[in-house]
Amino acid sequence: MCMFCAAIPAVAAMGTAAQGQQREAARKAESEGHPIPKPKVPPARLAGVVIVLLAIGSVVYHTQRWV
């Protein structure tokens, strides 16, 4: 498996974990009466962008003719 193909599920798992941690922090802050922390870039959006870039890299890598 190439590095691009191997990285896609890893990034998806890390993005899911980061999103869950953010939701947990928001839930905890809300229950304690503190303002909900807002990240500059949501983890799900960032993970999605990285996955798309990895998929593009994978397509380019797998369509090259190595002579």
pLDDT at 67: 63
Q: Show the domain range for 36.
A: 3-62
Domain count, the chain: 1
Residue 12 token pair:
């998806």
The single-letter DSSP state of residue 66 is -
Query: What are the backbone angles phi and psi of residue 34, rounded to the nearest 5°?
Result: -90, 160
pLDDT at 54: 96
Report the pLDDT averaged over residues 46-59: 96
Residue 61 has pLDDT above 70, yes or no: yes
In a domain, 67, yes or no: no
pLDDT at 50: 97
In a domain, 14, yes or no: yes
Taking alpha carbons only, the member of 2, 6, 14 closest to residue 47 is: 14
